[in-house]
Amino acid sequence: MKTRIAPAAAAGMLAAVGLALASCAANRGSGDPEKAAVALMQRDFKPRGQATLDRLQQDQVQKTCSERAREAELPPADAERLQRSQLALIRYPQDGQYLGDWKAGEKLAQTGVGKQWSDDPAKPSGGNCYACHQISKAELSYGTIGPSLWHFGRIRGFGPETQKYVYGKVYDSEAFAACSQMPRFGAHGILTEQQIKDVVALLLDPRSPVNQ
Amino acid sequence: MKPIHRAAIVLCTALAAAAGMVFAQEPSSTEREIEKYRAALGEDNPAELWEARGEALWKEKRGPKAASLERCDLGVGPGVVKGAYTVLPKYFPDTGKVQDLESRLVTCMVTLQGIPEAEAKKNHFGSGPKRSPMEALAAWIASQSRGMPMNVSLSRPEEQRAYEIGKAMFFYRAGTHDFSCATCHSRDNQRIRLQDLPNLTTPRDAQRAYTTWPGYRVSQGELRTMQHRLNDCYRQQRFPEPEYASDAVTALTLYLARNANGGVYDGPGVKR
């Protein structure tokens, strides 16, 4: 029988190696600064509240898009592959209904709480859409990182195809625009199915102030 | 330094005036409202309260060794405070590390005053009556570089390495929201809500942002340092918490400070 290392001991050894690597990386050393940065963050960041250390681990999208931010544009073939991988993750509503309550959607668009170490994990998260987008005309305090969404339904149409697109876009923005700055609200469990429907309604309910 | 009560009265008046402006007018830019607030304050920057306390702390005999910090080497020679903030973070041979101001102050508290490291790092972010010696010291030391250009060196391999690591951290997307520092701070002329976002990859914006920290934060009623600013960014990025005065925070700070080179230090400022 081969020698086996108990998982806990192995984890301990890995952590020790990580610490040693981080110390070297922090001082001089050579090699990939990305790897050194990850090792250093693993050593110097501490879990707090719901923000645990596993959040420092990148998935493929995060890794690809971090590199892209520093270098050139993502090659079209890579962008397409990334989008396809994310499209496969989207779980559309079983009932085929995409439109929720636009009033609830407006509340979600206004609040940015959720998933921070200072937030209560038992409470629902917000979408914080206004941080980056103009949405309804009445809200003057909006950001400009994303495009304006005012009159979204009037411009893009109110039909089921548009509804499905918006649901998917909020669920996983990377499925439609590789390396988008927008969080993947459904894929990362930030918003629930009902909450995403409410956001869809904010943009696509003809009665929503967005379309007035 | 003017009497504290006078500064407090001016501050309250200005706060009320600023609040009135914010609600009475079409919101334009938060930065412009803060500008009005600064103008209303005139000479009475509330940061002066922290600066005065910091200067006293620098000279006060503290810790088991009953020593002051007056022999502390902040990178421009033992006991020299003028200009120190413009060269930090930098490599220090005695610790073998690249250190920012606060990490270096911890070193001096340990070596000169005999204060245990954990004790020196405790209470690093003040809150009301629970005051932070670090915030006061950082405010005073930074104020002694006012009018001097940022001059952060990468001449040592350790400094080059820290800069590269800091840059990688800046662009590192992770967590539930896929955010990195670059999500908000790598493009020109963007806003989050009404708050203007500096593009910290460009000299112009990096200079304007870096040279005004530490700053008195109107929204918190506290003076905050770069350590606090980065801690709060990571909270909003949904990351775990970076340890205070750690090598990771120093690396990121070095990246930002170096990008600000040539900018004239103008802090401690007044911030949102």
Separation in Å, CA B68 to CA B71, B75, B109: 8, 17, 9
pLDDT for residue B33 is more than 60: yes
Q: What is the pLDDT of residues B106-146, one digit of tens each?
A: 999 999 999 999 999 999 999 999 999 999 999 999 999 99
- What is the distance in angstroms between the Cα of A4 and the nearest Cα belonging to chain B? 32
| Cis amide leading into B214 (omega within 30) | yes
Structure confidence at residue B39 (pLDDT) = 75
Q: How confident is the model at residue A73 (pLDDT cuts 50, 70, 90)?
A: confident
From A67, which residue of chain B is nearest by alpha-carbon distance? B171
Contact residues, B window 97-156, toward A, CB-based 8 Å cutoff = 97-98
Contact residues, A window 19-58, toward B, CB-based 8 Å cutoff = 22, 25-29, 33-34, 36-38, 40-41, 43-48, 51-53, 55-58
Which residue of A30, A40, A113 to mutate against B (max B Cβ within 10 Å)? A40
**Interchain contact, B184 vs A145, CB within 8 Å:** yes
ipTM: 0.88
Question: CA–CA separation, B6 vs B33, rounded Å?
Answer: 23
Q: What is the pLDDT of residues B67-99, one digit of tens each?
A: 999 999 999 999 999 999 999 999 999 999 999
Structure confidence at residue A70 (pLDDT) = 72
Question: CA–CA separation, B76 vs B148, rounded Å?
Answer: 14
For residues A75-86, average pLDDT: 96
- The bridge status of strand B269-271 relative to strand B215-217 is parallel
From A49, which residue of chain B is nearest by alpha-carbon distance? B240
**Interchain contact, B165 vs A66, CB within 8 Å:** no
Q: What is the pLDDT of residues A102-159, one digit of tens each?
A: 999 999 999 999 999 999 999 999 999 999 999 999 999 999 999 999 999 999 999 9
**Interchain contact, B241 vs A117, CB within 8 Å:** yes
Beta-ladder partners of B269: B215
Q: What is the pLDDT of residues A16-70, one digit of tens each?
A: 544 544 444 444 556 899 999 999 999 999 999 999 999 999 999 999 999 877 7
3-class secondary structure per residue, A193-210: HHHHHHHHHHHHCCCCHH
pLDDT for residue B26 is more than 70: no
